[in-house]
A and B are shown apart, each in its own frame.
Chain A
Amino acid sequence: MNNNISTKKKLINFLTVWRALIILLLMCVVASIIAPSFLSVGNLFNVIRQISVVAIIGCGMTFVILTGGIDLSVGSIVGLAGVLAAGVLAATDNVFLAVGIGVVIGIACGIVNGFFVSVCGIPPFIATLGMMTLLRGCVLVYTGGKPIPIKNDIYKYIGKGEPLGIPLPIIMLVIIFIIAYVILTYTRFGRSVYAFGGNREAARLSGIPVIKTEWLVYIINGFLCGIAGVILTARLGSAQSTNGTGYELDAIAAVILGGTSLSGGTGFVLPTVVGALIMGIIDNILTLLNVNPHATNIVKGAVILIAVLADKKVKDLSAKVED
């Protein structure tokens, strides 16, 4: 009897962590049956390259959501970092300066977000909603609504280069996620993030520097958005005022599909990649099948709802086993 329960528990634990991976594998099987071209290396790289920007944002978003917060301004930060980098590039033709500006803008936006949330105590939803609108406004004012073309080939290499035959954005994606994993699993700061998200007051009374921890989380998120903004413009070969629009929802969806709890305190960063892949594959299959692009959102939305429903079921089940 006892034995029975523990195997059941193990199975549920496995399901809880790797649920996203199971969904992903199922989708790959289905995709390869209905669209045989899906499994080609070229197509798979294409999928990963396409999701790399959202996945990198999702990485930062995982930190934020682990603290029980949310950041709606990520799409606008990506947009602003991208257009300013492109603008600097157009003016100076200095790639290092351009990339530097993009990253610094991201960090600066993160500092402001974190200031409002952790120091001023404004609910993250509200603070970042304000920033989302404000930053998008900055993008529009700066560009005047016109795209900024990128002519520098070194800059473009960031988005399109393929050292050793592997697209550079994919290499960056892997490096970023490994670092994020190490931070969350092996550092004091990572432990503080989980404790903060699990119970802020208990963390504070245990001597965790709560304001610093929360603030840093938004800065990391802003930093990654800056990188994402650079990659996006480099890949597209131009910076447009609409860049990054709607990415916040894709990033949040990736985090949630990856099994991180919106209420904070539980979840892992690596499954966020899987969550982003699921979103990307949906797009890819529908494109391969020539489905009306407007219908893509219907399928995406439905997948998110189903995944969250499954999440709840698994949680209820594990609660039952605990009893």
Chain B
Amino acid sequence: MQSNEYILELDSIVKTFPGVRALDGVHLEVKGGEVHALCGENGAGKSTLMKIISGAQPYTSGKMKVDGQEVKFHSTKDAERKGIAMIYQEFNLVSDLTVAENMYLGRLPKSKLGTVDWKKLNQDAQNTLDKLGLKINCKTKIRNLSVAEAQMTEIAKCLTIGARIIIMDEPTAALTDEEIKMLFTIIDELKKNGISILYISHRMDEIFTISDRITVFRDGKHVATKNTKDTNYDDVVAMMVGKNITDLYPKRNYQSAEVVFELKNISGKGVHDVNLQLHKGEILGIAGLMGSGNIELSKIVFGAIPQKAGEVYVEGKKVNSSTPIKALNAGIGFVSDDRKQEGLVLIRSVKENVSLSSLKNLSKGPFLDKKKELESVAKNVQRLNIKISGINQNVGNLSGGNQQKVVFAKVLETNPSICIFDEPTRGVDVGAKAEIYQIMDNLTKEGKSIILISSDLPELIGMSDRILVMREGEIVKEIMKEEANQEIVLAYASGGVSE
């Protein structure tokens, strides 16, 4: 009976990467003609799972069945042959070819002479577009389409290869409300034709509008699968988030009224008119979904991206932090969210990376004071418990956690009074996470103040004394530690609560 009901079944799928278990015995069953939403925080394993289902990555162990038959995909082509297609966030369309050509790319119909049968191609393409109720001319070039139309073309393309399961990864990320409605109409149309959709989105409201069933993942594990009508928003968020590990975070007791850092009317790319105050010894969390402007805000304040307007005050004095050099001189330290691109010079040594921001203090005139450098680097390596074989080891060969500690060491070497930490524990294992939290707590005890930006909500709530929630470039809510929980933060961040 089961094999009739489910067209796709995953049983105990495990996927390991060196040092990481990305998927840990995942189960998933997809019925014909249903919209099945997948929910989970960043790093829960959604994208890995999608790659496995679409044949882009092999799995380590477990079973995958299509129509009750066990399958093993070696490429996305294998998956397509079984009727599974994926629409990526960045579309796989060739912008200078027409809609029709893109839909049949690699499978263009041929005439008897071996040339392309344009008449058949355009006819077939237009038929498919019409069937979906799309008002797109198949002879239009992709570059002349809107984002939404390009996406519809992708969906139409999936139909031409006979897809029965279409995976959509954040399909509405770049769409307007009007276009989202259009997408949902088309998804309904697909359902009627017995096509199943695996729908991934961070937007809860969409998931509850469009899906039939919801599966929640956390830390690479399957948490639950529920009928959408039998569950609710709070329930799903609670499942996504799971229980807090309370002792991962140091007990904080912070009290201070002294404002050491203040932003007035800061504007820039993706940030509008932000005001905030940071107190001495405080950890101030700034929450927000992707694109909310929280990461951008930190980069604007540090001068990594242009400051269009606004004023920055450190300890009551107005400072210029329009470039990283000026920001560092003003006593602002910054840990970027992208450690490999923006944090470290991976091909150089631990020593050179740690001292990079404070070369001036470690020099006599233009010459490096190698002895002073060595002592200071050794001190920081020991203080942050960085595990290395020697300070001349290349940073690129360290684990994520140790790399991150090198970034911390570099920033602390400059002795900043204000620390801005973007995603300080991204890609770091749990042990190193706890150490980094301890380091942050110690910093505040030394009188430094921290702005913490993280998409890891338990971390943000566990570490912050106060949380500001950003949405669409503005601060929409201030939440004190006592009132903070993930549901509230998520609700404000996603706009689920109106003021």
Contact = CB atoms under 8 A, between A and B. Distances in A.
Which interface class (under 10, 10 to 19, 20 to 34, 35 or more) fits B?
Answer: 20 to 34
Query: Can you list the 7 inter-chain pairs with the closest CB atoms, starting with the nearest?
Result: A198-B345, A206-B356, A199-B345, A207-B328, A206-B357, A188-B359, A207-B325
B345 A188 contact: no
Contact of B341 (A195, A199, A207): A199
A186 interface: yes
A253 interface: no
A31 interface: no
Nearest to A199: B345
Given A199-B344, A199-B347, 19 more contacts: A186-B368, A187-B363, A188-B368, A189-B366, A191-B359, A192-B359, A194-B345, A194-B352, A195-B348, A198-B346, A201-B341, A202-B344, A202-B345, A204-B304, A205-B343, A207-B325, A207-B414, A208-B356, A265-B347
Contact of A266 (B343, B347, B356, B367): B347
Contacts of B110: none
Interface centre among A186, A191, A192, A322 (most CB of B within 10 A): A191
A202 B341 contact: yes
Contacts of A201: 341-342
B325 A209 contact: yes
Nearest to A209: B325
14 contacts: A188-B359, A188-B366, A188-B367, A189-B366, A191-B352, A195-B348, A195-B352, A195-B356, A199-B344, A203-B345, A205-B304, A206-B410, A207-B414, A322-B397
A13 B21 CA distance: 33
Interface in B132-163: none
B299 to A, nearest CB: 9
A203 B347 CA distance: 12
B264 interface: no
A203 B341 CA distance: 10
A202 B359 contact: no
Interface string B299-324: 00010100000000000000000001
A300 to B, nearest CB: 29
Contacts of B336: 205
A206 B339 CA distance: 12
B249 interface: no
Contacts of A198: 345-348
Given A186-B370, A195-B352, A206 B341 contact: no
Interface in A137-191: 186-189, 191
B334 interface: yes
* Candidate in B325, B341, B360, B370 with the most chain A CB atoms within 10 angstroms: B325
Contacts of B324: 204-207
Nearest to B397: A322
Contacts of A206: 324, 356-357, 410
A207 B357 contact: yes
Contacts, number: 74
A203 B334 CA distance: 13
Q: Which of A198, A199, A207, A209 has the most CB of B within 10 A?
A: A207
Contacts of A191: 352, 355-356, 359, 368
Contacts of A265: 345, 347-348
A209 B367 CA distance: 16
Interface string B345-376: 11110001001110110010011101000000
A203 B356 CA distance: 8
A122 to B, nearest CB: 21
A115 to B, nearest CB: 19
A205 B366 contact: no
A207 B410 CA distance: 11
Interface string B328-341: 10000010100001
A195 B345 contact: yes
Contacts of A187: 363, 366-368
Contacts of B341: 199, 201-202
Contacts of A266: 347-348
Contacts of A208: 356, 359
Contacts of B397: 322
A303 B315 CA distance: 62
Contacts of B345: 194-195, 198-199, 202-203, 265
A199 B340 CA distance: 9
A194 B346 CA distance: 11
Q: Pick the most buried of A194, A198, A206, A265: most chain B CB atoms within 10 A of its CB.
A: A206
B363 A188 contact: yes
Nearest to A208: B356
B346 to A, nearest CB: 7
A194 B348 contact: yes
A209 B303 CA distance: 13
- Most A-side CB within 10 Å, residue of B302, B336, B342, B414: B342
Contacts of A195: 345, 348, 352, 356
B346 A199 contact: yes
Interface in A205-222: 205-209
A210 to B, nearest CB: 9
Nearest to A200: B345
A134 to B, nearest CB: 32
Contacts of B370: 186
B360 A188 contact: yes
Nearest to B325: A207
Contacts of B342: 201-202, 205
A266 B360 CA distance: 22
Interface in A89-120: none
A202 B352 CA distance: 12
A191 B351 CA distance: 11
Nearest to A204: B324
A208 B414 CA distance: 13
B487 to A, nearest CB: 35
A207 B413 CA distance: 13
A205 B299 CA distance: 10
